[in-house]
């Protein structure tokens, strides 16, 4: 049996507003006195009220999605390029000589940051603020491994390198008894790479930015194969009765059904993880 799991099912995905709020706080702290350096919507920054900065950042999310965020999830933009593009949006940081004490301390406490430049690292932490693993989801990853310890697990996601780096850091921190491979190459490749990334024994990542594919067919032109279809039909090549799919996202479940995976082997995350007892989950910790 091969087990395909939406990576998001083992996380606590916070709403985009948490990341937007943190970017807005960067504006609150550092935009003052730098208005002459702003090339976009400078009038917004004449009002230091946090809600106004929040509204401006929210607008940038909407305007920059197709130009910046979607290409990053497809692996068309490298992580250094993405961070520089972010910095161009918050270009008042160019005139900031030094971060404040609170932000310096926050960066010291962060694990596995990609950026060595403090300003880029500050933007990185804001970007990844939506990623967490809170108590209600902490048992899912070790429980998944324990339940399928003799089967390969494929964690699939529309995501980006910075998110995955934080996810791996959190999983390592919360599951010290699980032997993760080191180093793990999560980098964006010049060309698409459909080799699953093995992060621990029999645990693989299949990521949109490495495959150059999104998870499901409805996210692609008709001529382009989805990540899940590619994995099931081109890589695993197992009888469909030996493929299991777990996701919180209805599109994933519909895709699995369209691939003719048995309904018995298609599970919502709540149903699947409810079947893993606390004892099973604790056994892997």
* 53 and 160 assigned to the same domain: no
Structural domain count, the chain: 2
In angstroms, the CA 117 to CA 157 distance is 28
Contact 209, 75 (CB under 8 A): yes
pLDDT of residue 220 exceeding 90: no
Report pLDDT for 217: 72
Q: Are residues 80 and 193 in the same domain?
A: no
pLDDT of 47 reads 52
81, 65: one domain: yes
Residues 224-261 have pLDDT tens digits of 579 999 999 999 989 999 999 999 999 999 999 999 99
**Same domain? 170 vs 273:** yes
Domain with 252, as residue range(s), is 2-12+134-283
Q: Which residue matches tokens 């060595």?
A: 116
pLDDT of residue 276: 79
Rounded Cα–Cα distance for residues 114 and 98 (Å): 19
pLDDT for the residue numbered 112: 82
Find out whether 285 and 177 touch, Cβ atoms under 8 Å.
yes
Task: Give pLDDT tens digits for 100-154.
Answer: 999 999 999 987 899 999 999 999 999 999 999 999 999 999 999 999 989 999 9
Answer yes or no: do 49 and 126 share one domain.
yes
Q: Say whether both 165 and 274 belong to one domain.
A: yes
pLDDT, residue 284, reads: 40
What is the DSSP annotation of 57-117? HHHHHHHHIIIIIHHHHTTSS-HHHHHHHHHHHTGGGGG--S--HHHHHHHHT--S-S--S
Segment 15-71, tens digit of pLDDT:
999 999 999 999 999 986 433 334 444 444 445 568 889 999 999 999 988 899 889
Kindly tell me if the per-residue pLDDT of 219 is higher than 80. Answer: no
194 neighbors 230 (Cβ within 8 angstroms): yes
Q: Does the pLDDT value for residue 279 go beyond 50?
A: no
Segment 170-176 mean pLDDT: 96
- Above 50 in pLDDT, residue 281? no
Residues 167-191 have a mean pLDDT of 95
């Amino acid at each position: 049996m091969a087990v395909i799991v939406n990576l998001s099912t083992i996380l606590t995905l916070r709403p985009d507003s948490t990341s937007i709020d943190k970017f807005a706080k960067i504006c609150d702290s550092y935009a003052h006195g730098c208005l002459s350096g702003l090339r976009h919507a400078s009038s917004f920054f004449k009002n230091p009220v946090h809600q106004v900065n929040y509204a401006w950042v929210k607008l940038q999310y909407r305007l920059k999605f197709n130009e910046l965020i979607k290409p990053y999830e497809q692996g068309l933009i490298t992580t250094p390029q993405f961070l520089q593009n972010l910095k161009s949006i918050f270009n008042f940081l160019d005139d900031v000589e030094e971060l404040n004490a609170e932000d310096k301390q926050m960066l010291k406490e962060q694990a596995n940051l990609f950026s060595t430049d403090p300003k880029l690292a500050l933007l990185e932490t804001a970007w990844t603020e939506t990623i967490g693993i809170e108590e209600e989801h902490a048992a899912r990853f070790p429980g998944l491994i324990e339940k399928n310890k003799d089967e390969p697990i494929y964690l699939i996601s529309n995501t980006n390198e910075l998110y995955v780096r934080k996810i791996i850091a959190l999983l390592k921190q919360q599951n010290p008894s699980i032997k993760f491979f080191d180093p793990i190459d999560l980098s964006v490749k010049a060309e698409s790479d459909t080799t699953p990334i093995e992060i621990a024994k029999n645990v693989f990542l299949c990521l949109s930015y490495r495959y150059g594919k999104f998870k499901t067919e409805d996210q692609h032109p008709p001529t382009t194969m989805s990540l899940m279809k590619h994995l099931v039909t081109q890589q695993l090549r197992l009888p469909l009765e030996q493929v299991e799919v777990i996701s919180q996202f209805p599109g994933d479940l519909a895709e699995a059904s369209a691939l003719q995976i048995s309904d018995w082997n298609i599970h919502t995350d709540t149903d699947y993880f409810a079947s893993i007892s606390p004892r099973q989950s604790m056994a892997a910790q």
